A and B are shown apart, each in its own frame.
Chain A
Amino acid sequence: MSDSPFNMSEAGNATWRSLEEHEQSESINDWLHREFPKGAESWGSDQTHRREFLQLMAASMALAGIGGCYRRPEEEIVPTSRVPEYSPHQTLQYATTMPMTGGAQGLLVTSRDGRPLKIEGNPQHPTSLGSTDVFAQAAVLELYDPDRSRTVLNHQQVSSWPDFLTALTSRVQDHRSRRGQGLRILSPPLLSPTLDWQMQRLRKDLPEARWHHYEPIHDDAEYDGAMLAFGEDIRPQYDFSKATVILSIDADVLGSGGGKLRHARDFIDQRRNDLKKKSASTSRLYCVESTPSLTGARADHRWPLPPADVGRFLQLLAKKLGLSIDGPQSEEFDGVPADVWEALVADLKLNPTRSLVAAGPYQPVEVVALVHAINAQLGAVGHTVTYRRPVASTNRDEVASLSALTTAMQAGQVESLVILDGNPVFDAPVDLDFAAALASVKWSAHLGVYADETSAACSWHVPAAHFLESWGDSRSDDGTGSLIQPLIAPLHGGRSVIELVNVLLNEPRSSAYDTLRAYWRNQHGEEDFGAFWNRSLHDGVISDTAFPKVEPTLRGDLLSRIATALKSEVTGSKPGTITTAIFRPHPTLWDGRFTNNGWLQELPQPFSTLTWSNAAYIAPADANALAYESGDVVEVIHDGRSIRVAVCILPGQARGVITLRMGGGRHRSGRVGSAVGTNVFPLRTTDNVWLLRDVIVKRTDAKQRLAATQQHFLMEGRDLIKSGKWDDYRADPAHPTFMGHEPEPHDQFSFYPPAPDGPSAENQWGMSINLGACIGCNACVIACQAENNTPVVGLAQVALGREMHWLRIATYFTGSPDAPQTDHQPVPCMHCEHAPCEVVCPVAATTHSKEGLNEMTYNRCVGTRYCSNNCPYKVRRFNFLDYHIELREEPLLQLLPNPEVTVRSRGVMEKCTYCVQRISAARINAGLQDRSIADGDVVTACQAVCPTRAISFGNIRDPQSAVATEKQSPLSYSLLAELNTRPRTTYLASLRNPHPDLAKD
C-alpha cells in the first residue's frame, strides 16, 4: 500500500496532489480526517485487525438485517395482552410510558413481530385514561426516523461507544479525585424517580459536582407562585369532575400540561353525565386569555385580553370577591362588558366548593399567587383544587439553574459538561449566550436522540435510546410512577440517561434495567418483588405511588406582597399598535424537539390549520389597521434583538399582541425539520421568558408561503355545526329549537334500493361524533395517520391542497373576528348509505359493503377523481404523486407501516375506512370464540385516542349499542342531511352553557 495516495506516513516521498498536501499543512490533515474517518481508514490500510474487521462487519450486518430480524430487548418485557402462547405475526400490547414536560403519559404500545407499530393510551394510567396527545401518537415515527443519530461522534468524527466510555471514565476518575469539582451535568427536570435517586447518589458521591436543569417550556411561574403564596414547594391539581364554575386565567388546562388528558376527560364527562341525568344545569367555563387555546375554544365565555389586562382582570375579580386587595386603576376592559362581573362573581360564589380558578404557567408569579388566594377565599381548596409535591423535585427555577451553569462556564469553572438530553444551544435564553460559553468548556458530551445544534457544539455526542427502546420510569402529573419498558432493542445502539449516569457513578457495567430494578427493589422491598415488578410492567402503572395531598396554608402577608407587583399599567392601545409579544409552545412541535417528525409538522395546528410553520399570530383588528396579510414577514424587534417571522391572522387573538411560537428555525434537525419556520428564541431572554413588552413590529417586503389545510373558516350561513345553549336544550329536550328541522330521508326519491337496513348483515357500522365533547386537540387526526399508513406530503403539496389526512378537524368561527365562538368538527368519511361517490366511479372501485361500509378497492382504482368531486364532504384523498418514496428508499421506515393496511400507490384514491382492519380483527376474534361481535369490540383509531371520548362507533342495528343510543338523542343530526346521502357518521350538537344573564340574543 506504499503507493496509496492516502498513505501519509511518508510525507514528501509519496505522491502529492497539491502544495498544501505536500507541506502536510494543518488544514489538509483536517480535511483528510473529515473525508476518511477512522473506521474508513482501516479499510485502506493493510493492517486491518481481525477484530476491527469483525466489528465493522457485525455493524453492517446488523444494519442490513434490520428489516428482517426481531430486535427483542435482551431483558424480559411483559405484555399487557393476554397471550396463551406466542405465535408469529401476533399482535401484542405492552404498557410503557412517555416522559414529557409536566408529567408522563401511560401508553399501550401495539407491537407485532417485535416492532412497535401503534400507540394507544393506557386506561389504567391516571393521567392518560386510555387516550394520548398528539406527541405520543407520533412517537413511533420518531423511533424509526432515519435521521436519528446513529453513531458516537467525537468532534463531529465518527467514533465508538468504547472510545467514549474510555474518555468519560478517565474524566470521571479525574473529577472523583477532586470530589467532583469541575464536573457539571445539565438535563431537563427529572420526572424519573430512578434518575432522581441516581442524582442523589451522585451528589453524595461527588459533592462538588453540580447538576443543572433546564427546559425551554417550564413551569417556573407555577412553582414560584405556590412558593410565594404558601412558602411551600407544591403545585395545584385540578379536579374537573367536581368543578362546576371554572375560570381559566390564560390556562390551557384542556390542551396543554401534564394533566390535560384527565382534565379534558373529567370536564366533558361531567357534562355528559349532567345530560344523561337531565340536570337543570351543568358546569360553566369562563376563559380569559391572550391567544386562542383549546380551553378558550371550548369555554362558554371567552374574553381575549392582552397580558397586562389579564392580571388586572384578576385583580379586579379578587377585589370583587372580597379579598382585601386594592382594585386596579381602571375597571374598564376592552371587550369585556361591564355586566360580566356581577354574573361571574355570583357564579363563583354560588357553589364555593365547586368553583375553580386556574392560572396558566405563562402568567407572572403574582398572578399565580393571587389565584391561589382566590381559590382559598372561594373555598375551592381541598375540593376542586388540591396540592401535591411537584412531579419533579428538581424543576424549580430552571432559568436560574441554566444561568448559574453559564456563569460557571464563562468563569472557567466547568471542565467537563455532560448534557443529558435537551438542546440548550438552540433554546437557551439568548442573553446567556450559551453556545459561546459551551465553546469555552474543554470537554463536553451530549446525549440525544438526534445529533442537533447542541451536539455539534459539544466535543462528544452519544446517540440516546428512544423511550421505546429503553428501560426507565417516569412520574405522571399526580406523581404516580410508571415503568418504561423497551419494545425493541436500540436500533442504533443508543444509550439511556440512566446508563450514562451509571458511568458517572463509576458503575459503567450496570445496565439501566439493573438500576431500575435496584431502585424499585429499594422502594418496594424484597418481598415478592418479582410479582410486583411483573404487575407494574403489565399494568404500566406502579400502584400507590401518587404523591400524597398536602394542605398548605396561605401566607398571611401574601396580598400585601403581591399588591405592589400587580400595579400594572393600563394598556389602551389603538388597533394596529402591536407592542406585546408572548412566547408559547408550538401545538405540534412543542419546543422544537419534534421538528424532524413529519406527522407532527404536517398536523394542522388548532385554529389556523397551519402546517410546516410556526407563523406568529396577530389579531384581525391589528392586521386590518396595518394592512397585513397572512404570510407577510415582519421584523419583531426588542431590546436591540430582532427576528423575522411570518404572521398569520387569527380570530380571537388579543389586540396588540403577537404570539411567537417556539419550534421553528432549527438548522440541525434533520431532513424533515431543518429550516422550517422561524427561530423565535433569539428574542427570549432570562428576564422575559414568556412576555416581551415594548416590542416593535416592522413590515418587511418578504412573504412566506403558509400551508394551511383550511382556508375558509366561516359557515356561510349553512347549518353545519348545530350548537345551542344548555338552557334552550333543557326547555324542550325532545325537540330543541336550535336543532331545526332535519329533513326526513327520502327513500321514495331514489332509483336505488333502500340502504341495507334489512337482514343483509348482522352488523351495520356507524359512528357518532359528539361536537359538544370535541376540544379540537387533533389527536384523532394523527392517530388515524399512524394507524392507516397515511403519507406525509410536505409543505408544497399541502399548500396545493393535497394533504392526505383521512380525518380533518374543520374549524369554524362565528361572531366577531375579535372574539369569535370557535367550533371544531371532526370530519371523517360519512359512509353514506346513498354514497354519491359510488355511483360515479366508472370502474366500481368504491362500493358498498353489506355492513354499510363505503369501501375503496385500491387495486381497482384508475384515479378519475370523480368520486372526490362528487363527495359533498370532501373526505376523499388522492395520491397525486408517489408519496411513499421515502418508505421505499429508507429501510428503517419500512418498519413503520401497519401491516394490516395497504400502502397506497400513486394515482389511487383513498379515504377513511372506519378502520376496517380493526373490524376484521374483531370479527376474526369473535369467530374464534364463536360469538357475535360485541359492542365495544371494534374501536377505531380516532375513537381510541380521543381524550374526551367524543367519538363512538359500533353496530347501529343493535339498539343497545353506545352508538345507537347516541344516534337516538334529539341532539343527533346528519351533516348535509338535505342531500339525502344518509350518512352513517352523524353528529351530536354542541351544547354550551353561557350564563343566562350574559347570553347574547
Chain B
Amino acid sequence: MSVPAVERTPPAPVAHSVTDRITSVVLQRRTPVNWYLAFAFSFTWTLVLFVSVTWLFIRGIGIWGVNVPVGWGFAIINFVWWVGIGHAGTLISAILLLFHQEWRTSINRFAEAMTLFAVACAGMFPLIHMGRPWFFYWMIPYPATTGVWPQFRSPLMWDAFAVGTYATVSLLFWYIGLIPDLATIRDRCRSRSGQIIYGALALGWRGSARHWKRYQDAYLLMAGLATPLVISVHTIVSFDFAMAIVPGWHATVFPPYFVAGAIYSGFAMVLTIAIPLRMVFRLQDLVTDWHLDNLAKVMLAAGMVVAYGYLMEHFGAWYSDETYDRFLIYNRQTGPYAATYYALLICNIAIPQLLWSTRVRKNTLLLLAIALVVNVGMWLERFVIVVTSLHRDHLPSSWGMYYPTIWDWATLFGSMGLFVTLLLLFIRFLPMISISEVQEMAHDQAVSHEEVM
C-alpha cells in the first residue's frame, strides 16, 4: 500500500489569530442567522422530547412499543448508542493526551463537550425507561429508612455507578480544560454581565506559572482518571447484556466488542460534528484535513474490531453447539428483523471499507456521509442486539414482535434535538476549540516569541 500523501505534522496556526478567532465566535456581537435557524430546528426537537417524556410520565411505559418478551426497546438502544458516542470524546481528550498525540488539541474541546452532552442524553434513558421513574434513587445506595440496599449483583446497579462516575469525571475534565480559556474570554469580554459570569467560571485564573503548573497537573490527573473509564463504562454497559442468560446477550466477547463499538460510533460522531462545524465557522486551518484523516483512520480501526466482534458472535454460536445461540444467529439472518441485520452489516462493515482509500478520507463530504452511515449502523447494531435477541428466546410459545410507536421515534429524535441544542449553546457561549492548547502547540511548533495570554 502506498504511503498516504498526508502531512505527518499538523500545520501551525498563528497564536494570536487563534485567540481572536475562537473567542470571536463567543464574543462577537451578532449571533449568525444560521445559528438561530439551527437552534430553532434543534430546539423544536427538544420540545418534542419534552412532550414525549411528559406524556410518558402521564401514561406510562405502555405508550412505547415494548412488551413481553421484548421488555427493552428504543430507550435502552438509545442509551447504549449515546453512551457509546460519548466515548470518543474521552478517548481523544484523555488517552491521546497521555500518548502525547498533539493533533488532538483542535478537536478535544468539542469532543469533550460532545461526550458530556451524549452522556446527558444517554443518562436520561435509563431513568425514563423505568416503570416508576420517580423511584430512580432506589438504584443509589443510600442509608434508607427502609433498610433496603440496592441489589449489588445487578448489572443495572453497576450501570448506575459507571455512568454516574463517567458523567462526573467527564464534566470535571471538560471544565478543568476550559478554565484558562474561560479566563481569556473573561478578559476579552466587554459586557459587565459576561465578565461576571465568565469571571466566576474562570475561578480566578490569572495565568501565573503556578496556575499553569497546578492546571497541568490536575489536567493530567483527570486524564489518568478518565482513561480507564473509556474502557470500563462500556464494558459495564455491555454487562447489562452479557450477564443475562438471553441467547445473543450472554457472550464473553461483549465487553471488548462494545468498547470498540463505542469508539467507532464516537469517532463517527466527532466527524459528524467537526465537518459541518469547520465549514460553518471556517476553521479549516484549525481542524484540518489532516485531523479528519486521523479520525477516519481510528474509526476504520475501531470498525474492524467491531467486525471481528460480529465474527466471534457467529463463531461462538457455531462452536458452542447451543440450540438457542445457533437459532439466534439463524433468526437474525432470516427472521422478521433480518433487514435490520443486513442494514447493520452494510453500514458498519461494508461501507466503512471505503476509508482504506486516501481519496475517500480526503473527500470531506464523503467522509461526513460515511460517518453518518456508521452512526446509523451503530444504532442498528444495538437494535439488533436488544430486539432480535429478546423477541425469540427460549420458549417459542412466548415469542413476539416489537414495533416501535410514534413516541419511541419522538423520543429518539427528541434526544438528538437535545444533543444538538446543547452543542449549539456550547459553541455559542464557550470556546469550542481549546485556545490555550492550540496556542501552546502553535508556540511549540512555530517557535513564536509572542507572550501567551
A712 close to B (CB within 8 Å)? yes
Q: Quick one: which of A842, A872, A876 contacts B68, CB cutoff 8 A? A: A876
Using known A-B contacts A812-B397, A863-B61, determine if residue A874 contacts B323 with beta carbons closer than 8 Å.
Answer: no
Q: Smallest CB–CB gap between A762 and chain B, Å?
A: 26
Chain B residue at smallest Cβ distance from A797: B62
Segment among B165-173, B241-249, B284-292, B294-302 that sits at the interface with chain A: B241-249
For the complex, give the distance between the alpha carbons of A860 and B138 in Å. 9
Q: Mark A615-634, 1 if CB is under 8 A from B, else 0.
A: 00000000000000000000
Q: Quick one: which of B131, B133, B136, B154 contacts A841, CB cutoff 8 A? A: B154
Check if B71 sits within 8 Å of A840, measured CB to CB: no
Q: Quick one: which of A797, A842, A865, A909 contacts B72, CB cutoff 8 A? A: A865
Q: Cβ of A800: which chain B residues have Cβ within 8 Å of it?
A: 65, 67, 403
Q: Cβ of B148: which chain A residues have Cβ within 8 Å of it?
A: 843-844, 860
Q: Mark B112-130, 1 if CB is under 8 A from A, else 0.
A: 0000000000000000011
Q: Mark B231-252, 1 if CB is under 8 A from A, else 0.
A: 0000000001001111000000
27 A-B Cβ contacts within 8 A?
Answer: A717-B323, A718-B396, A801-B69, A808-B398, A810-B397, A841-B151, A842-B139, A842-B150, A842-B160, A843-B135, A843-B138, A844-B150, A861-B131, A862-B131, A863-B130, A864-B131, A864-B156, A869-B69, A877-B68, A878-B61, A879-B131, A880-B60, A880-B62, A905-B132, A907-B132, A908-B132, A909-B131
Q: Which of B213-260 contact A (CB under 8 A)?
A: 240, 243-246
A921 close to B (CB within 8 Å)? no
Query: Would you list the 4 A-B pairs with minimal beta carbon distance, nearest first?
Result: A863-B131, A907-B131, A810-B397, A880-B62
Q: Smallest CB–CB gap between B15 and chain A, Å?
A: 51
Q: Smallest CB–CB gap between A61 and chain B, Å?
A: 36
A713 close to B (CB within 8 Å)? yes
Q: Cβ of A840: which chain B residues have Cβ within 8 Å of it?
A: 153-156, 243-244
A-B CB pair tally, cutoff 8 Å: 175
For the complex, give the distance between the alpha carbons of A360 and B150 in Å. 60
Using known A-B contacts A712-B396, A714-B396, A907-B130, determine if residue A866 contacts B135 with beta carbons closer than 8 Å.
Answer: no
For the complex, give the distance between the alpha carbons of A873 and B396 in Å. 10
Segment among B3-11, B352-360, B387-395, B423-431 that sits at the interface with chain A: B387-395
Q: Cβ of B390: which chain A residues have Cβ within 8 Å of it?
A: 869
Check if A906 sits within 8 Å of B60, measured CB to CB: yes
Check if A802 sits within 8 Å of B68, measured CB to CB: yes
Q: Smallest CB–CB gap between A363 and chain B, Å?
A: 33
Q: Cβ of A711: which chain B residues have Cβ within 8 Å of it?
A: 399-401
Q: Cβ of A802: which chain B residues have Cβ within 8 Å of it?
A: 62, 67-68
Q: Smallest CB–CB gap between B103 and chain A, Å?
A: 41
With A800-B67, A800-B403 given, name 8 new contacts (CB 8 A): A712-B397, A713-B396, A862-B135, A870-B244, A878-B61, A881-B61, A906-B60, A909-B131
For the complex, give the distance between the alpha carbons of A145 and B70 in Å. 33
For the complex, give the distance between the alpha carbons of A810 and B396 in Å. 9
B409 close to A (CB within 8 Å)? no
Q: Quick one: which of B60, B136, B149, B398 contacts A862, CB cutoff 8 A? A: B136
A715 close to B (CB within 8 Å)? yes
Chain B residue at smallest Cβ distance from A809: B397
Chain B residues within CB distance 8 Å of chain A: 59-63, 65-72, 129-133, 135-136, 138-139, 148-151, 153-157, 160, 240, 243-246, 323, 327, 390, 392-401, 403
Check if B245 sits within 8 Å of A720, measured CB to CB: no
Chain A residue at smallest Cβ distance from B73: A865
For the complex, give the distance between the alpha carbons of A228 and B395 in Å. 51
For the complex, give the distance between the alpha carbons of A714 and B392 in Å. 12
For the complex, give the distance between the alpha carbons of A808 and B396 in Å. 13
Q: How large is the interface on A (under 10, 10 to 19, 20 to 34, 35 or more residues)?
A: 35 or more
Using known A-B contacts A811-B397, A863-B61, A907-B130, determine if residue A870 contacts B151 with beta carbons closer than 8 Å.
Answer: no
Q: Quick one: which of B63, B244, B245, B393 contacts A874, CB cutoff 8 A? A: B393
Q: Smallest CB–CB gap between A434 and chain B, Å?
A: 43
Q: Quick one: which of A812, A839, A865 contacts B131, CB cutoff 8 A? A: A865
Check if A862 sits within 8 Å of B132, measured CB to CB: yes
Q: Cβ of B61: which chain A residues have Cβ within 8 Å of it?
A: 863, 865, 878, 880-881, 907
Q: Smallest CB–CB gap between A907 and chain B, Å?
A: 3
For the complex, give the distance between the alpha carbons of A777 and B194 in Å. 76
For the complex, give the distance between the alpha carbons of A909 and B65 in Å. 17
Chain A residue at smallest Cβ distance from B138: A843
For the complex, give the distance between the alpha carbons of A977 and B242 in Å. 20
A156 close to B (CB within 8 Å)? no
For the complex, give the distance between the alpha carbons of A800 and B394 in Å. 20
Using known A-B contacts A836-B245, A862-B130, determine if residue A872 contacts B395 with beta carbons closer than 8 Å.
Answer: yes
A159 close to B (CB within 8 Å)? no
Chain A residue at smallest Cβ distance from B405: A800
Q: Cβ of B59: which chain A residues have Cβ within 8 Å of it?
A: 881-882
Chain A residue at smallest Cβ distance from B148: A844
Using known A-B contacts A840-B156, A908-B132, determine if residue A870 contacts B397 with beta carbons closer than 8 Å.
Answer: no
Chain A residue at smallest Cβ distance from B153: A839
A976 close to B (CB within 8 Å)? yes
